[in-house]
């Protein structure tokens, strides 16, 4: 038997897609196919070739191609979907819903045809609802349809904690539950720094300020960039998820998963901690929540449901 190299497709070769491709190559996680629309075929080929030409300098082996043809993506192990429009200052992620639902639908129809066995990771916003759209169109089992929100939201939360305490980011542990919107739920009670509960290290008002900043972390970058949204930290998050699956690491990471009773929610895609390994989402890790935490999560779940309802009632 010949051992096969991993094949990773990234749909959407814009800021997040191209950055993810480069980071995947730097980690030698597999060969990479970047796909974009036919009108951008040459720029997509150009980005891929430019990255490929960086590989001898970086000392990594990864084939990287750009294309507008889904046949080139056939039999990918992982497909990452970043296709769609990004928000601009003054917009919410939910304002992208109609346009991106159409794009994610057409992309997933192609993925279903060309890579029926792939694990699919969705980034396009509003990502909880777009993961739902992808699941409907793909018809893949729920363990193979995964949305990215919590790794990024948690990264922001941990960055701000490390900055506040002037300690290494490596020693900060925590996670953020719920939808990828301004009412996401950073779980303070389960956060620690070097094993020491966060609540013993910082006063409540400083923790509250960190939680508030993490919740609007995406918007902070949108305001600063002026014409688009974050891409370095989102790309790093996608790479961590991809690595967890391809190396069967069984990482416990917060991702958007299909809930069928877990945390009390039925038939809902939302961010929760899971075991991520070679089986994709291998298990949702349920936690005991206080009444207050559950109420905050309920509010976030309702926001996700409201956006999914827009998708369900519109003729895309
Ligand atoms: N879930 C999350 O944590 C995050 C989500 N996002 C979302 O990711 C999406 C992409 O963001 P960026 O890369 O910054 O945007 P971008 O505009 O730089 O790139 C998007 C790319 O998608 C391509 N595209 C559009 N329709 C397509 C189709 N049918 N097939 C293939 N490609 C298509 C565009 O041509 C463009 O190159 C946005 O919706 C953004 O809101 C961004 C950061 C974090
Ligand atoms: O804020 C946005 O629109 C992009 C995104 O989801 C994030 O950076 O968290």
Q: For the whole model, what pTM was predicted?
A: 0.98
Q: DSSP class of residue 197?
A: E
Residue 314 — pLDDT band, cuts 50, 70, 90? confident
For the Cβ of 228 lying below 6 angstroms from any atom of ligand 1, the answer is yes
The annotation places the binding site for substrate at 87, 93, 125, 156
Q: Which residues of 56-66 are buried (b: 16+ CB within 10 A; e: fewer)?
A: eeeeeebebbb
What's residue 316's pLDDT?
Answer: 57
User: How much distance in Å is there from the Cα of 228 to the middle of ligand 2?
Assistant: 9
- Out of 84, 183, 218, give the residue to mutate to test ligand 2, the one with the largest number of ligand atoms within 8 Å of its CB: 218
Of all residues in the chain, the percent with pLDDT exceeding 90 is 97
Check residue 313 and give its pLDDT. 87
- Which is the closest atom of ligand 1 to the Cα of 87? 41
Q: What is the DSSP string of 51-120?
A: HHTTHHHHT----EEEES-GGGGTT-SEEEE--S----TT--GGGGHHHHHHHHHHHHHHHHHH-TT-EE
Quickly state the pLDDT bin for 315 (edges 50, 70, 90): low
Whether residue 242 lies in the annotated active site: no
- Report pLDDT digits (tens) over 10-37: 999 999 999 999 999 999 999 999 999 9
| Count, residues in the chain | 316
What is residue 41's three-state secondary structure? helix
Q: Is the beta carbon of 12 within 6 A of some atom in ligand 1? A: yes
pLDDT, averaged across the chain: 97
Q: What is the pLDDT of residues 65-85, one digit of tens each?
A: 999 999 999 999 999 999 999
List the beta bridge partners of residue 10. 34, 80
Render pLDDT for 144-175 as a digit per residue (tens, 0 to 9): 999 999 999 999 999 999 999 999 999 999 98
- Predicted local confidence at residue 7, as pLDDT: 98
Average pLDDT over residues 195-223: 98
The pLDDT tens digits of the residues spanning 174-192 come to: 989 999 999 999 999 999 9
pLDDT in tens, 81-132: 999 999 999 999 999 999 999 999 999 999 999 999 999 999 999 999 999 9
Mutational test site, ligand 1, from 229, 230, 304, max ligand atoms within 8 Å of CB: 229
Distances in whole angstroms, Cα of residue 276 to Cα of each of 18, 196, 199, 242, 271: 24, 26, 28, 9, 13
How far apart CA 68 and CA 70 sit, in angstroms, is: 7
Which ligand 1 atom is nearest residue 35's CA? 31
């Amino acid at each position: 038997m010949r051992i096969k190299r991993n094949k990773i497709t990234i749909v959407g070769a814009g800021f997040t897609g191209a950055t993810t491709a480069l980071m995947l190559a730097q980690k030698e996680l597999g060969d990479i196919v970047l796909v974009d629309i036919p009108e951008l075929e040459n720029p997509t080929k150009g980005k891929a070739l430019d990255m490929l030409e960086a590989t001898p300098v970086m000392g990594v082996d990864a084939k990287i191609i750009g294309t507008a043809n889904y046949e080139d993506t056939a039999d990918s192990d992982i497909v990452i979907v970043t296709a769609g429009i990004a928000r601009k200052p003054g917009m919410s992620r939910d304002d992208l819903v109609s346009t991106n639902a159409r794009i994610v639908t057409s992309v997933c129809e192609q993925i279903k045809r060309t890579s029926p066995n792939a694990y699919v990771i969705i980034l396009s916003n509003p990502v909880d609802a777009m993961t739902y759209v992808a699941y409907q169109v793909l018809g893949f089992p729920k363990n193979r349809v995964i949305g990215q929100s919590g790794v990024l939201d948690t990264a922001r939360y941990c960055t701000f904690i490390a900055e506040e305490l002037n300690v290494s980011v490596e020693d900060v542990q925590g996670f953020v539950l719920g939808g990828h919107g301004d009412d996401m739920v950073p779980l303070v009670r389960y956060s620690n720094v070097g094993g020491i509960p966060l609540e013993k290290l910082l006063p409540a008002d400083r923790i509250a300020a960190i939680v508030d900043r993490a919740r609007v972390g995406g918007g902070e970058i949108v305001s600063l960039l002026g014409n688009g949204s974050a891409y370095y930290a989102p790309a790093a998050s996608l790479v961590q998820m991809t690595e967890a699956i391809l190396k069967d690491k069984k990482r416990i990471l917060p991702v958007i998963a299909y809930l069928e009773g877990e945390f009390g929610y039925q038939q809902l895609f939302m961010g929760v901690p899971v075991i991520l390994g070679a089986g994709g989402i291998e298990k949702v890790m349920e936690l005991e929540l206080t009444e207050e935490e559950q109420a905050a999560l309920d509010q976030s779940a309702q926001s996700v449901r409201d956006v999914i309802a827009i998708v369900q009632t519109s003729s895309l």
